[in-house]
Structure 1
Amino acid sequence: MLLAAESIQKNCKLSESVFRSLKEGTNADAVSGRLKYATILIRLGDITGASVLLKEVETAHSNLALESVCTCSGIVEYSPKTGLRDKTLTLLHTGEIYGHFCHCLIFVETLKPCFPNGWLDAIFRPMELDDQRSNTDDVMEYVSLDPLPYFYFVTLMLQKELNNPFKALTSFQMLEKCVSEEPLFHKDTALVLLSHSLEMDGQVEKAKIIYDEACCLRKRNTGFKSSHVRYNGKPV
């Protein structure tokens, strides 16, 4: 993605090696690599290619054995679903284990060129900071997102681009349900995605309430697990 961002920033075509690396990255886990690749394809205007990847993500999430894993805090965290634990050894021996796990997506500011302009406020929107932090000269921003709410957000944005209001509404409803019901590792950033989606729909007051909820949630939690921004490599 970093190489793709550099090429897009320079208004250059992505090289075959970059496309090859992005494609190979889709095998790193069940969905995260596909979501990254789909994001870039939408940025480049390849809606057909992005739609194929998103369909694969949807299929993967419909598999009850799919697990979400978070390592953002340096500790592996996940809640195994019924059935997968018994298959783990078999999956390890067959090399198919990666197809049953999905990791959080972590984006840095240098990846901004990979995203359509209308997405930037949702992905990279800074959350409220503590009053005592004023020196931001060497700020590096990391955004951690759970794959499932990001999938619904990408699908929503794509359906809006295709002018499919019914499918866009369905994606929004799934995003809303996901944020409220799923056991997410990064609910604060999922709330930001939902807030942005509401704002796009003209529901400004409700969007603000959701955004404030995201900020409050982040302040109640410590560590990178629930953080949207890091200063000097230290979680805030």
Structure 2
Amino acid sequence: MFSLENRVQEYAWGSRDAIATLLGQRPSDKPQAELWMGAHPAASSCIELDGGRERLIDAISRHADAFLGGPARDRFGARLPFLLKVLAADQPLSLQAHPDEAQARRGFDAENAAGVPIDAPERTYRDPHHKPELICALTPFDALCGFRPATALPEVFELLAGGPGDALVPRSADAIDAAAVARLVQGLLALEPAARRELVSSVVEACRARAQAGGWLARAAAGRSACTSSTRATSAS
């Protein structure tokens, strides 16, 4: 058994004290969003091995059978096929769009061929792997995944009608389908930041007016809307 020295990722939505408290440290002066435990190329954990300090990714590469066992090495190669993260969210996260395995490989290879550095801010695919995820909440945590059923979308589009998002709303209930949702999402992401903030504010106000409806409207009216300022298709593990 090895003691891991793990890397902390400093993203804007992170907490300044949650991970620090977990590690027995003083609160940080920077937001600490994720504690990574594993062998990801971008932020591998380190271990003490053979009297020296070594990145876990390098140790696994050199001693795959010892660290992974034969079946895992045969299936995944000489790499740890998962990444454990401790997330400490102090405010809503940005949207996450995860690729499937084939898309992740294509995107990673294309950005490598284009010479985009792995750590560049504009880099989308930081490794060639897809990203199925399992979340275990240690404290109360809200996660939204996917889209509402088509039958529930007329109420959503009604919130946008007549306001900054009116141009994105289908003109009839019959037109609310997967294509309409795709056009809405693409239109929202293409808005200038100021226009997006105006749209989010108008929707939140509409939710407050309908708080008696309960469910997600009441929660949004309570100030729990996730106004995202950035989106990224990401392949991080």
Same fold judged by TM-score > 0.5? no
TM-score by length of 1: 0.24
TM-score by length of 2: 0.24
